Each structure stands twice: as C-alpha cells, then as structure tokens.
C-alpha cells in the first residue's frame, strides 16, 4: 500500500471554494490506499461540510472536492527527502 497526502488547492476563488467558510470542514488527510483514486474516494467519504449536498448548492463544485484535482491535491508520500513537517493542520478562531 501507498501513503497519500490530500490537501485543498490554494488560491481558489470564493465562488468555487468549498472550504469557505473554514469551520466544520476537513483540510487534510493522510490515507493508505493502493491508488490515488482510492485515496480520493476515502477522503471524500470522510470529509466534513465541504462534501455533499451543501457543497453542491453553495459552491457548485459537484459536492466532491476531494475527488476533483482542480480543488484538491493528492500526492504520494515517500520516505525520501529532507527532514520537514509533513502536515500541521491548525485553525484558530
């Protein structure tokens, strides 16, 4: 199995951003799956208010932002590379 990190794309327009407003939403996943497609499906099933009917009505995204490469990234994590933070997902009100 592979590890994948999924994050919202940056600089989305307000009209096409299912992560605005920021509350009650998932902003990142690290998922073990064989393929990117399966990783995206798992994330989409486990998301918050950024997925589903509310997202479809308000943001016209189709309700599946974790499945859409224009709205989210899905990158395979490997053990290679420099020492660094992989994911810190902190939101303060």
DSSP character string of 13-48:
-GGG-TT-S-TT----EEEEESSHHHHHHHHHHH--
Neighbours of 58 (CB within 10 A): 14
pLDDT per residue over 28-53, tens digit each? 999 999 999 999 999 999 998 888 66
**pLDDT above 70 coverage of the chain, percent:** 86
> Rounded to two decimals, what is the model's pTM?
0.80
pLDDT, position 38:
97
Query: What is the residue extent of each domain of the chain?
Result: 2-77
């Amino acid at each position: 199995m592979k590890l994948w990190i999924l994050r919202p794309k940056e600089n989305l327009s307000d009209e096409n951003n299912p992560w605005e407003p920021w509350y009650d939403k998932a902003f990142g996943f690290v998922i073990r799956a064989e393929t990117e497609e399966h990783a995206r499906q798992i994330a989409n099933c486990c998301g918050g208010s950024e997925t589903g009917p509310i997202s479809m009505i308000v943001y016209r995204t189709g309700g599946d932002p974790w499945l859409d490469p224009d709205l989210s990234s899905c990158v395979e994590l490997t053990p290679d590379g420099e020492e660094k933070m992989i994911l810190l997902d902190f939101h303060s009100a």
